[in-house]
Amino acid sequence: MTTIHYREIVRNGCLEAEIIDENHIFDLKNFAQACGQSPEWVLQLLEYEILPARNESRIHQFFADELVRARRAYRLQRDFEASLSAVAMMMDLIDEVQTLRKQVRHSHLTQS
Query: What domains sit in the chain, N to C, each tagged with a CATH number?
Result: 5-111 (1.10.1660.10)
pTM for this predicted structure: 0.76
- What pLDDT does 6 receive? 62
- Report the C-alpha gap between 34 and 37 in whole angstroms: 8
Q: Do the Cβ atoms of 72 and 65 come closer than 8 Å?
A: no
Distance of CA 15 to the CA centre of its chain: 21
Mean pLDDT on 88-112: 91
Q: What is the DSSP letter of 16?
A: E
Q: Per residue in 42-96, pLDDT tens?
A: 999 999 999 998 888 788 899 888 988 999 999 999 999 999 999 999 999 999 9
- Report the C-alpha gap between 38 and 27 in whole angstroms: 13
> 63 phi and psi, to 5 degrees?
-105, 165
Q: Do the Cβ atoms of 44 and 35 come closer than 8 Å?
A: no
